[in-house]
Amino acid sequence: MDVSSTPPEGKTLSALWRAVFLVSFPFGILAFILPIYGRELGASALEVGAFFSAFSVVPVLVRPFLGRALDRWGRRPFLLAGLAGYLAAILAFAFATTVWMLTMARFLQGIGAAFLWLTAYTMVADLAAAGGRGLSFGLIDEATNRGAIIGTTMGFTLIFSLQRAGSMDWPRVWWILFAVYGLTTIGALGIAWRGTRETRPVVRGSAPASRTVSRRLFTLMGIVLLTGASSAMVWPLLMIFLQDSLHAEVDGLALAYLPAALISSFLPSRMGIFADRFGRRKPMILGLLIGAAASALIPHLRSLAALAGLWAVESAGYAASIPAERAYVADIAGEDVRGTSYGLYTFAYFLGAALGPLAGGWLYDQVSPATPFYLNTAVLTLGAVLVLVALREPVRTDAKT
């Protein structure tokens, strides 16, 4: 990330990019092997859903209050606290050998997430020019995805090597993986400690800060709650469903996901530029509709090649919608309530993420494996319609806020 031309803001954004990159190393492989490792330990589909709900509990509880704390006391202390929380979670994962211990590790990861991502988004909104927020949020998404793909490659290289050697032992492999990820997380914490500065704006003028949150934010929160719960309903079950329906091994699923991972590592910033030029709502609607179509097709997949193509298209949709959505929040939030606005926005997402996996696990076990995917199609389509009819495009300026 070349931001050297705009110090000291560029230095902080660069350090934030590198910290996010390193802390993201375990994210990709967790999406693949947490459900599988959980099943190895005897977890049901409902308990696998609970892994993902446990991650979301803390953000649901603290983010509305944390956002106000960011506006009052600044960003940097909470950034460092979030990275420290992730380090504690990685250590807990390393020693997790039961379903209960995995659930507790996910809870600790949720503490790190509650602090880190809210603070990172608020810092990007502080530092990015209004006409370049889509690009800036896209760059942060790329840092996350590039770190995840490198960490996933490292992890699966170890797993496949041990499988070929006939010495695969899940508890030992699990410990080695998270010992390595602990080192990258320590590196992220060190970079953020040395390289970031406080970004909270000083509100100028004699009038007191308004502390007024845009009404449009509450509309967006409702849409995010609905679609976030729906998406979270299916993601924890996807690996299980694909193993059951395609009889695919982990290595085949990992290779099928590779094109999507590469797309998500390079496309978000470019789609962010599109959102900066042509508005926020169009990419948001496009991403929701692509996600809806992909979810409808998943139960009908019969090959890994078709799965790879579907994942690639879906990844492109998310690369378009997510930077635009985060930039939308920055556009409608006053500089004195940016932390509060992102706190409420991410609260809505994580509330949905806490409820969705439990509902998905129950539907998978009690109704049919395909039901959560069809329900997700309907909800994401409804979300796209709501963005079209209920949200107004924000008026933006190119001045740095």
pLDDT digits (tens, 9 = 90+) for 84-97: 999 999 999 988 88
Look at the block and give the residue holding tokens 């290595």: 251
**45-49, 102-106, 159-163, 290-294: range with highest mean pLDDT:** 290-294
Tens-place pLDDT, residues 284-340? 999 999 999 998 998 888 888 888 888 888 899 889 999 999 999 999 988 888 999
In a domain, 254, yes or no: yes
Least confident of 59-68, 69-78, 117-126, 204-213: 204-213
In a domain, 362, yes or no: yes
Number of domain units in the chain:
1
In a domain, 243, yes or no: yes
Contact 195, 11 (CB under 8 A): yes
Which residues is 400 bridged to in the sheet? Answer: 129
User: Percent of the chain beyond pLDDT 70?
Assistant: 91
Task: State the pLDDT at residue 33.
Answer: 79
250 pLDDT band, cuts 50/70/90, is low
Tens-place pLDDT, residues 361-385? 788 778 888 888 899 999 999 999 9
Domain limits at 40? 9-197+215-390
Task: State the pLDDT at residue 36.
Answer: 75
In a domain, 115, yes or no: yes
Phi-psi region of 205 (alpha: psi -120 to 50; beta: other; left: phi over 0): left
Look at the block and give the residue holding tokens 């949720």: 110
Per-residue pLDDT at 206 exceeds 80: no
In a domain, 206, yes or no: no
Comparing 139 with 33, the larger pLDDT belongs to 139
Contact 234, 13 (CB under 8 A): no
272 pLDDT band, cuts 50/70/90, is very high
In a domain, 204, yes or no: no
Mean pLDDT of 171-194: 93
Tens-place pLDDT, residues 144-178? 999 998 998 898 888 888 777 777 677 788 888 99
241 pLDDT band, cuts 50/70/90, is confident
Mean pLDDT of 38-44: 77
203 pLDDT band, cuts 50/70/90, is low
Least confident of 82-86, 143-147, 253-257: 253-257
In a domain, 210, yes or no: no
User: Percent of the chain beyond pLDDT 90?
Assistant: 45
Listing DSSP states for 132-144 in one string gives: GHHHHHHHHHHHH
CATH number, domain at 225? 1.20.1250.20
Mean pLDDT taken over the chain? 85
Task: State the pLDDT at residue 401.
Answer: 36
Task: State the pLDDT at residue 398.
Answer: 47
Structure token pair of residue 374: 């069809």
In a domain, 398, yes or no: no
Q: What are phi and psi of 155, to 5 degrees?
A: -65, -45
Structure token pair of residue 234: 């299916």
Contact 75, 122 (CB under 8 A): yes
Comparing 46 with 272, the larger pLDDT belongs to 272
Mean pLDDT of 35-57: 75
Per-residue pLDDT at 26 exceeds 80: yes
